[in-house]
Amino acid sequence: MKLKSILIATGVVLATFVSPIANANQKPVVDSFVFTPNEIDLVSTNTTVSIELVVSHPSGIENNSVLATFTSSRNDTLATILNRTDAPINSSLSKVTFKGSIVIPRLINTGVYSLTAASIKNNSAAGYQYETGIIEATKVRNIKGAESGLLIRNNGELNLAYDTFVGPSYDTTLGIAFDDLNTYKPSNLPIWKVGETYSPNKYFEIRVPSLALEITSTTPLVCPSNGKELTFLKEGTCSFTVSTPKTKDYAAKISNQSATITAARVKPQLYIEKIANQTSQNLPKSIEITRVYSAAEGYVLPQSATPEVCIANGFFVRLVSGGTCTLTFQTAATASYLASDLYKVSFEVTRDPQTVTFSLPSTANVSTKSIALAATASSGGVITYSTASAGICSITGSTLNLLRNGNCAVTATQAGTSTLAPASATATVVLSGDAVANRKTITCVKGKSTKRVSGVNPKCPRGFKIKR
């Protein structure tokens, strides 16, 4: 602290006061708190564990010693005094080291012993005094439930009593805070009925990832187990245990459970009335259908399997085009009922008919090369043409190309609309004669000489090349 003086004109000091320094009012800082070894086995002789605590404060540390304690989950306790290492003791020293040791007797219980030290105070000469509070050792390993503290084993066995799993989630009286709240919801209930199965992983949350849940039935006639899940065979009381096995680190954990198995879920039957065919007049339009009821879930709403023709909307169906409308009905599985079969009902939305007028000459000579196609639809709609007589004839737009002898069948089609049914007509022409070969002329060059050659498949004379 810094002294200031207030002077009057005579030079006499009237009063003094103390102003705080920059580091005032801060707690002592624990720089490190370690011990070695951090794991021992009682098979060996008594083991000495060394402990070191380093604490700092700008004004110094008041304590000359501090009590360090190892405590297990059973409240087994081992304690020792840690003494300052500075000699002579300098209470204004800003960083102080405390050291000590303790002998671990062979008759002590196995387990994890957490290490704590009593509170450390800063030097009161600072004009104020704070404490660290109880000091705890930091994490030294990755064993769940034993991340810090001294591990005491016996012939390799730690036998740690730790909640390797918690649950079941549907027992709300336990008040468990699950890590994965989306998976382990209280509303996620088992179905205690004949024919169902029970997997503990759906309801018990594992807290040690290296372990696996096991399930064992004590009533195998009602609910046998394969080690991973139960199968409910008949009505009665199902008693079972959920557990994790004993390992080198953990003691076995067992949770005893029981439930009453009741009659199997049944598959509800639905009764669907037929729906009369509809016309395509005034589309789009809506029609009301007969309501379907199920004891499993009440009214069952339809779903459309043909949304291009009809759209289901509650108890109404909106018709948007001609064609076949197919609706489906199905109930979902519940705790009391299985899902129903998928029921379908279909009806026609009939479209207005139309006709296509189309004809071809009965015969034609291939040498004519092509025929113009001219079909008409009663609706005035666009006509498209197709042929299955590959190699005999082909179609380009509305032109029929004649290729070789044979029967050439051509189909003229009007695709229809949402209110008009599609229509088509087919005509056949018999092709005969030989196709006229197409002649062409090429120009050939050799140096400054040129020649023109004509023919079906003209070629340049020897020594000449085609002029590109």
Q: How far apart are CA 373 and CA 370, in angstroms?
A: 9
Nearest to 82 by CA among 61, 99, 58: 99
Q: Is the pLDDT reported for residue 137 higher than 90? A: yes
User: Among residues of the chain, what percentage have pLDDT more than 90?
Assistant: 83
- What is 302-324 written as a DSSP string? -EES-TTTEEEETTEEEE-SSEE
Domain boundaries, the chain: 29-153, 165-261, 278-350, 356-432, 438-468
Q: What are the φ/ψ torsions at residue 203 (nearest 5 degrees)?
A: -130, -15
Which of 6-10, 72-76, 142-146, 274-278 shows the lowest per-residue confidence on average (mean pLDDT)?
Answer: 6-10
Residue 348 near residue 306 (C-beta atoms within 8 A): no
Any idea which of 17-26, 190-199, 213-222, 244-253 has the lowest mean pLDDT?
17-26
Q: What is the pTM of this model?
A: 0.62
Instruction: Report the CATH fold assignment for 356-432.
Output: Immunoglobulin-like (2.60.40)
pLDDT band at 43, cuts 50/70/90?
A: confident
Band of the pLDDT at 374, cuts 50, 70, 90?
A: very high
- DSSP structure class, residue 125: G
Classify domain 29-153 by CATH number. Answer: 2.60.40.10
pLDDT at 375 over 60: yes
Residue whose pair of structure tokens reads 């000449």 in the numeric block: 464
Neighbours of 366 (CB within 10 A): 19
DSSP-assigned letter for residue 124 = G
Q: Do 165 and 132 form a contact (C-beta atoms < 8 A)?
A: no
- At the topology level of CATH, where does 165-261 sit? Immunoglobulin-like (2.60.40)
Residue 2: pLDDT over 90? no
Q: How many CA atoms lie within 13 A of 431 on its CB side?
A: 24
Asked if residue 245 has a cis previous peptide bond (ω within 30° of 0), the answer is no
pLDDT tens-digit readout, 446-457: 988 899 998 878
CATH of 278-350, one of 1.10.20, 2.60.40, 1.10.238, 3.30.70: 2.60.40
* Measured torsion, CA atoms of residues 395, 401, 403, 407, in degrees rounded to the nearest 10: 70
Q: What is the Cα–Cα distance from 23 to 458, expressed in whole angstroms?
A: 106
- Reported confidence tier of residue 297, pLDDT bands at 50, 70, 90: confident
CATH topology agreement for domains 29-153 and 278-350? yes
